[in-house]
Amino acid sequence: MHDEHAEVEVDEHIDAPPAEVFEYVADPARRPFGDDARVQFGPEIERDEPSRIAWRVTTSDGDVHRDGRVDIVVAPDGAGSRVRVSHHIGAPVAPQARAELAIAA
């Protein structure tokens, strides 16, 4: 990824009611992107049940880290739900800068 800031967004219809979809995506064991070596979920930063939830995330590509957030919005859509997942990706943070930020905190 070469952009300073980026956003990835997915908008889909799910054949389930909003409360059921929200319960599924809000469960930490079912995080929409999973936890792997490249995406680490931080704390939940927003919750407006059953329509919105957000987390802080850090993505890593080798020594380059990007802080960001994942927002999930769930809305009624006919007999099911419209789900929008947005991953906002910040500018790269070099390892030395991350260490300095951690010391300052």
Instruction: Report the CATH number at residue 10.
Output: 3.30.530.20
Q: Report the Cα 95 to chain-centroid distance in Å.
A: 22
Which single residue is written with the structure tokens 């380059």? 64
| Global pTM value | 0.74
Rounded (10°) CA dihedral 37, 31, 53, 59? 10
Give residue 72's domain range: 6-104
Residue 87 domain-assigned (yes or no):
yes
| Closest of 84, 91, 28, 31 to residue 59, by C-alpha | 91
Residue 91 domain-assigned (yes or no):
yes
Q: What is the mean pLDDT of residues 6-22?
A: 93
Please tell me the total count of domains within the chain.
1
Name the more confident of 79 and 105.
79
Phi, psi of 38 (to 5 degrees): -100, -20
Residue 104 has a pLDDT of 46
Residue 4 has a pLDDT of 65
Residue 1 domain-assigned (yes or no):
no
Residue 65 domain-assigned (yes or no):
yes
Residue 98 domain-assigned (yes or no):
yes
